[in-house]
Amino acid sequence: RMSRHAKKLRDHDINPCVAETDATTKCMDDNSYKKDLCTDYFLKYKNCRKFWHEIMMQRKRSGVKPEMPSAEERKKILESM
């Protein structure tokens, strides 16, 4: 059974970078945990977190709730870019 924290990390409405997390984990699994072979995946994950953190902080400053857009809202934000 997954812990509440683990479920949150898997929830696309809460964690905008589930796909990047999964890709990074798969790369590490496939390459015997040699980090240097997965640099691109780590970078994509880091950029994803940074991007959505900035969006979240903007929404927080503007008083928008919830601070993290839902998965559906995020999809629209990305499509508009």
Which residue carries 């857009």 as its tokens? 69
Report domain extents, the chain: 4-80
CA 66, 67, 70, 76: dihedral to nearest 10 degrees? 120
pLDDT digits (tens, 9 = 90+) for 19-47: 999 999 999 999 999 999 999 999 999 99
Q: What is the pTM of this model?
A: 0.85
pLDDT at 2 over 80: no
